Structure 1
């Protein structure tokens, strides 16, 4: 019976943490970002300056927080030693016609290290982005 209580407690904790998004990231319009799969609607391009405001706060966050804020990545690349890169498109491109191939469209690249934490965030074409004031 004691083991069952511990198991239920752990399950409850996991469920709570899996839905957790830090307060500092809650101002970002995640719903609009997630709804614009592959950036084919053009909404992500409008949200790029808003993302830039929270980008530094994403460093060191766990993978589940990235998925809670940005949703499932448009593409994912598995690297050696369990590292991954999540790709989120910021503009429409060839990925809107053929989502199976990585497009040259401007995209956000989130690097997840082997511990499941964000270790880097970059853009494929940073000069095309407008910086927030």
Structure 2
């Protein structure tokens, strides 16, 4: 009597097409949602700590997407706004992400919170944005 060993080739070939499909799904799940495509995310991300003063020019566009960010997962926030300039750990596994809007002392002392205006994004315990706020309210210029 001959002992037949298990041959994994048929199973591997059968599921081989799933690997590219899974990779494609993973890559698309981490991309920027369509509703944020009109926001200049790259300029925002490249102006770390707002030291180049480019983020303030994007505030009007940020206001347009601000409400759409509420309820989004943390990875979506990071895809749109980038790594936060500062982070604050709160009770109950909540965090505040801070993104500076104007140059200030954070440009030279990155380990301290600056008094410069900034956007705060509260990430709740389940990893979703629950609130977006400014340190100082943004003054909108109304046309006369």
Q: Please state which band the TM-score falls in when normalised by the shorter chain.
A: 0.7 to 0.9
Q: Counterpart in 1 of 2:26?
A: 14
Q: Counterpart in 2 of 1:122?
A: 133
Give the Cα–Cα distance (whole angstroms) in 1 for the partners of residues 48 and 108 of structure 2: 12
Give the Cα–Cα distance (whole angstroms) in 2 for the partners of residues 110 and 132 of structure 1: 26
- Give the C-alpha shift of residue 81 in structure 1: 2.1
Give the Cα–Cα distance (whole angstroms) in 2 for the partners of residues 67 and 17 of structure 1: 13
Query: Which consecutive residues of structure 2, in runs of 5 or more, have no partner in the other structure?
Result: 1-7
* 1:43 alignment partner, SS class: coil
Give the Cα–Cα distance (whole angstroms) in 1 for the partners of residues 111 and 105 of structure 2: 10
Query: Which consecutive residues of structure 1, in runs of 5 or more, have no partner in the other structure?
Result: none
**Higher RCO structure (Cα 8 Å, ≥6 apart):** 1
Return the TM-score normalized by structure 1: 0.87
Q: Counterpart in 2 of 1:90?
A: 101
Q: Which has the larger radius of gyration?
A: 2
Pairing of 1:71-82 with structure 2 (within 5 A):
71-82=82-93
- 1:51 equivalent among 43, 62, 67: 62
Q: Counterpart in 1 of 2:81?
A: 70
Pairing of 1:99-118 with structure 2 (within 5 A):
99-118=110-129
Give the Cα–Cα distance (whole angstroms) in 1 for the partners of residues 55 and 141 of structure 2: 14
Return the TM-score normalized by structure 2: 0.80
The 3 A distance-change label for structure 1 pair 31 and 114 is same
Q: Counterpart in 2 of 1:27?
A: 38
Q: How many residues are treated as equivalent by the alignment? A: 131
CA contact (8 A) 1:110 1:118 kept: yes
CA contact (8 A) 1:50 1:132 kept: no
Aligned-pair Cα RMSD in Å: 2.4
Give the Cα–Cα distance (whole angstroms) in 1 for the partners of residues 25 and 104 of structure 2: 41
